Amino acid sequence: MKHILCSFLTILTCISTSFAQKYIIVDQFGYLPEAQKIAIIRSPQIGYDANENYTPGKKFAVIDAQTNKTVFKGSANIWKEGKIDSTCGDKVWRFDFSQIQQEGSYYIKDLKTKEISYTFDISKNVYKEALKHTFRYFYYQRAGYEKTVQFAGEGWADKASHLGPMQDKNARNFMKKDDASTEMDVHGGWYDAGDFNRYTNWTCDYIQYLLLSYEENPAAWTDDFNIPESGNGIPDIIDEVRFGLEHLLRLQFEDGSVVAVVGSHEATPPSACNEPSYWGGPSTSSALSAAAAYAYGAKIFKQYDKDFAQKLQTAAIKAWDWAEKNPDVLFYNNSNEHGTAGLAAGQQECDDLTRAEKKLLAALRLYDATDHNKYKVFFETNYKIARMVDWILVFPFGEANQDMLLYYTSLKNAKPEITNHIKAVYERATDTIFNLFAIKADDDPYLAFQKDYVWGSNGTKAKQGCIYYNLAQYNIMPEIHNDAIEYALRYVHYLHGVNPLNKCYLTNMGKYGAENSVRQIYHGWFENGNEKWDEAGVSTYGPAPGFLCGGPNIEYAWDQCCPNNCGNEYNNARCYEIDVKPLIGQPAQKSYLDMNNGWPINSWSVSEVSGGYQVHYLRLLSKFVK
């Protein structure tokens, strides 16, 4: 609503709220009418902005952005008697305006200093627009698929990529580049992150979590997200999953094994790439991951396309059978030790415990899809090896095994004693020092406590929010059911701007409700220096809207060759393309800089995107879209 409210009568208000507001922090999209609404007032004390102290007034007001009238006044309460939190470096006050439930567009004003917040909406559908644009990440990341102006917008239209000679439709085995008999069609799927590679283990994760998001709240997933399949009577999220599954089916060999990785080069725009593509694998982990994704797809597609569902089910069984016969086949990509240096970037092979958990997940999904008892028996016999049960640990880096175990408890034929055990462990492991204890102790002045701010911290925030929502989703600790939902929503607020940087961590969302959103990301398409796609507000278009960046990372460092050992004077000078001092030695929540510089600045550790971050954010956000 708010981005179209600049009528003649309110143009001055809209102009005044278009500048960077530093001290009054809100969710830039807004709030649900009956939800808790707390604005954060910050006075920087530690970090790059320590000299920007702010002394708030005694009274704050909620202002209707359309009429410029005050609708509520109140005081802000200081957090923990003025304690300076080490993770954010700020002194913080909180202004609670939860009693405002009337739908509309508003901003917060300090009645003494006249400082204001960004505008925000209160609406039952306040997050629908954000959900649409962030879901479209997967459309923009489609490989081998034309993006037309109708669906991508003028700024991000592009021809299909990686379909030329020796590319995705006739990619060769990386280990046998000169052997034409190894050519296979591996086209489709999604660019994994800022790189354009496709990793089967991770692609399967994205499929799993998209389907889980749909199952947990189908009402959020309508047929109008403006992708080519919109309007076909099938929820767009199911159409997008099908695009991923069709790619995944192409990766399966006749014996049931599955390609582990597809390596492709980047270009800007993607269709400009003319370098060859290669595949590597198969592996036990890729077969198990694919078995789980095929089977989950088979279950869901039975209501949309029975023939496709049957094809997926057959593929799932074949992948499972192959993995059973080949339990120790490993494939390490981009490894000098294994002769695969240069094949993709991230290492997709996993350790023994993760592989065992993948087998549990495949068994769970196959049982759910086929009702064959042997898969159920395998899961129930072996579920205790999963780290949540074995370690009595719930944490955001263990989401896959935790969500797998909880999903079992929803099956109609789940054993009551196992269901009770899983839920008891989840409760015990969630009511701990870095989970509920921290929330109940109010350990984060920005209301979204997280222990670790390392690579991908924004994705970790989303997963932490989902940990709390699971308590409500699976009726664990019913005495805090409503509180658990509110705790989860606070992590949405953090990603939408309730953080020390007052930054919405989604790209280029100014037109869709977030005035101070990310301008640059590390991505092969939206590369540094590109006059069309580099930076929103500077280049012609900037990056496509709705990509969740990696986020604050206390481990960020420029390349070890900096400042003067990078090979030559030109490379040494690149160490100073931008000033990275605001990133070094900062409080954890301030360890971020809106940048996309490559080597030796190495911005990818804070600004690269990932399908992994995106799916967990989508899952969390969709809980609050009806």
Structure tokens at 513: 């409700």
Looking up tokens 């932490």, which residue turns up?
464
Asked whether the predicted pLDDT for residue 2 surpasses 70, the reply is no
Phi then psi dihedrals of residue 25, to 5 deg: -110, 130
Asked whether the predicted pLDDT for residue 175 surpasses 60, the reply is yes
**Chain centre to alpha carbon of residue 244:** 17
Equal CATH topology for 127-350 and 431-626: yes
Phi then psi dihedrals of residue 85, to 5 deg: -75, 130
Classified as helix, coil or strand, 301 is helix
As a CATH number, domain 127-350 is 1.50.10.10
- Return the pLDDT at 21: 85
| Structure confidence at residue 18 as a pLDDT band (50, 70, 90) | very low
Nearest to 95 by CA among 58, 54, 63: 58
- Return the pLDDT at 1: 55
Asked whether the predicted pLDDT for residue 17 surpasses 90, the reply is no
Domain ranges of the chain: 2-124, 127-350, 431-626
Asked whether the predicted pLDDT for residue 16 surpasses 60, the reply is no
**How confident is the model over 89-129, as pLDDT tens digits?**
999 999 999 999 999 999 999 999 999 999 999 999 999 99
**How confident is the model over 577-618, as pLDDT tens digits?**
999 988 999 999 999 999 999 999 999 999 999 999 999 999
- How many whole angstroms separate alpha carbon 143 and alpha carbon 525? 12
Task: Name the average pLDDT for the chain.
Answer: 96
Arithmetic mean of pLDDT, 524-531: 97
Q: State whether the Cα torsion 582-585-590-596 is positive or negative.
A: positive
- Return the pLDDT at 335: 97
**How confident is the model over 25-71, as pLDDT tens digits?**
999 999 999 999 999 999 999 999 999 999 999 999 999 999 999 99
Asked whether the predicted pLDDT for residue 11 surpasses 70, the reply is no
Which CATH fold would you assign to the domain 2-124?
Answer: Immunoglobulin-like (2.60.40)
HEC per residue, 244-293 = HHHHHHHCECCCCCECCEEECCCCCCHHHCCCCCEEECCCHHHHHHHHHH
**How confident is the model over 430-474, as pLDDT tens digits?**
999 999 999 999 999 999 999 999 999 999 999 999 999 999 999
Percentage of the chain lying above the pLDDT 70 cut: 97
Nearest to 25 by CA among 448, 482, 421, 382: 448
**How confident is the model over 350-389, as pLDDT tens digits?**
999 999 999 999 999 999 999 999 999 999 999 999 999 9
As a CATH number, domain 431-626 is 1.50.10.10
* Helix or strand (DSSP H, E) at 198: strand 198-199
- How many whole angstroms separate alpha carbon 123 and alpha carbon 30? 8
